[in-house]
Structures are given as structure tokens and as C-alpha cells.
Amino acid sequence: MKGILEFLAKKNRWAVALLIILVLFGSIYVKVQHNIAINFKNKYNSEVKLRNALTDTITTYKNKEGEWVSEKLTLQASIGELENDKITLTKDQQRLVDRVREANKHNEVITAALIRANFVIDSIMHGGLVLVDTTNKTVEFIESNDSSLRYNFKAFGVLPYPIDTKPSLLIRNLTLPNEQFIKFFWQDNKKEGYPIAFSVSNSNKYVKIYDVNSYAIPTIQKEILDPNGWEKVMQWLNKNGKIVGYVAGGVVVGAGGTYLLMK
């Protein structure tokens, strides 16, 4: 091999230059084709996940803690993709997209959920405390021991009959409809590294939130997932550093080869 290169260097400098260029551009071609294949695979996987999520239905089960869990696949696509005419959304999915689009006007949403739920009581007989006030003609039904349901109902202008009997209460039906919107978003604070915040809103005024605690894996960073112009340039350079090096090397070698040929 060494003898061939020495022969080419003495007899045909153009062949040497061409060989170097072919090796450099061959390496670049392989890298580019590899990236194209990866992008195609990622696009296909994204389409499959979106198609499955669009047609998924809610699954409800009880976990080992005895809690009822509702589970459903997440829509993983941009708002623009979800608004495509080829995508058919349900009424609730469309409401979610509308809420996210509106929220994006203020903060870039990382993930969000729209939950439609009802607080429902159906035919429960009161078994707690009963307080009868014959003077003011009131009866109170108090439940404070049940961890799932607590209330205090007070009836006015009533007396038990006969007077020494204990009143009873049957809650035949009580429903509190509620729509809950949950979102994770980056706060617009570059100095602090765009911290992630969590918010939840309820359509029913009787639903009160006393505290929220949320968790996100450390790799969810705005500079990586939603970079600005300069951050995109730096990411591209980091990702394609070898290709840039090959091209720069090719320019240097080509210039050197040209110099030798013209010398």
C-alpha cells in the first residue's frame, strides 16, 4: 500500500487528491445516510404512538394501595400536527388542544392533561353523628370519621316525631361535575435556568386545591428540548462536530493538494 501511494505521489498527484476527497466525502455520505435512517425511524415511531393515543380508551383499575387508577395514552405531537385536517380529534381531545394553544401564549407547555370527572354520591345512609336541637328546631348530620367523605348538613324548622326518636338521613344523589386542567411549563426565567412549574385549574368552584407537589426528571431542560436560535446552533455543532471537522479537513487537504499540484 505504501508503495502504491509513493508511486501515485510521484506519478499522479491528481489521483492522490481525488483519493483523499473520495474518502472524506464517503465518510460524510455514510454519516448523512445514517442520520436520515434514524430520522425516518423516529418519524414512523411518532406516527404510530400518535395513532394509538388518538384511538385509546380509558382503563380503570385498582392498584395495590387500594386506589382506583384511570389510565390512558398521551398525545405526543405538536399543536400544529394535531390541528392537521387529517387528524380526527374527539370533543375532549379538541378541548385539550385548545387549552394548550391558549396556555402557550404565556408559557411554553411541556405536558398537560384535561380531566373530566364527577364527584358522585349515590344512595348513602348517614351513619355518623346526629344532633337534635328541639329549642331551635334544627337537626345536624355530621360525618367526620369517613376518610372518603366528610360533611355537615343542618336542617332548620324540623323536629323528630316522635320527639324521642333519632332522625335519619339518606343522601339519594349528590354530584359535583368538574373539569380539571393540569399543565407543566417552563417559567420564563433564563437566569434561573427556566425552572419547571406545575399548575392545576378546576371548573367547579367547590373543588379546592390545598397543595400541589410535582416531579420532573432532570433531563427535561428547556435548552435541550426547546432551544432558542443560538442554542440550536450550539446543539447542531455539538451533534455534527465530526462532519464539520471532516469538511474543514477536506478544505485544508484540498487546498494543500492544490498548492502541491500547482507548485
- 175: Cβ–Cβ under 8 A, 6 or more apart, which residues? 118, 119, 120, 121
Residue 226 DSSP class:
S
Counting runs of H as helices and runs of E as strands, what totals does the chain give? 7, 8
Q: For position 259, what pLDDT does the model report?
A: 43
**How many Å apart are CA 43 and CA 34, to the nearest integer?**
14
- On the question of a cis peptide bond just before residue 162, with omega within 30 degrees of 0, the verdict is yes
Residue 215 DSSP class:
-
Cell (9 digits) for 116: 373530566
- Residue 19 Cα to chain centre, angstroms: 50
Series of mean pLDDT values for 10-residue runs along the chain (263 residues): 56 61 72 73 76 88 86 87 88 92 87 89 91 94 90 93 90 91 83 81 88 73 60 54 52 47 47
The answer to whether the Cα torsion of 79, 85, 87, 90 is positive or negative is positive
- With cell 351513619, the residue in question is 127
Task: Give CA torsion, residues 5, 10, 15, 21, to 10 deg.
Answer: 60
In contact, 174 and 204? CB cutoff 8 Å: no
* Residue in 124, 96, 140, 113 with CA at minimum distance from that of residue 214: 113
Cell (9 digits) for 239: 451533534
- 10: Cβ–Cβ under 8 A, 6 or more apart, which residues? none
**How many Å apart are CA 56 and CA 254, to the nearest integer?**
57
**How many Å apart are CA 60 and CA 245, to the nearest integer?**
54
Q: Give me the phi and psi of 12, to 5 degrees please.
A: -150, 85
**How many Å apart are CA 185 and CA 247, to the nearest integer?**
39
**Whole-model pTM?**
0.63
Q: For position 77, what pLDDT does the model report?
A: 86
Q: For position 120, what pLDDT does the model report?
A: 87
- Residue 262 Cα to chain centre, angstroms: 60
Q: Give me the phi and psi of 141, to 5 degrees please.
A: -115, 115
- With cell 387529517, the residue in question is 86
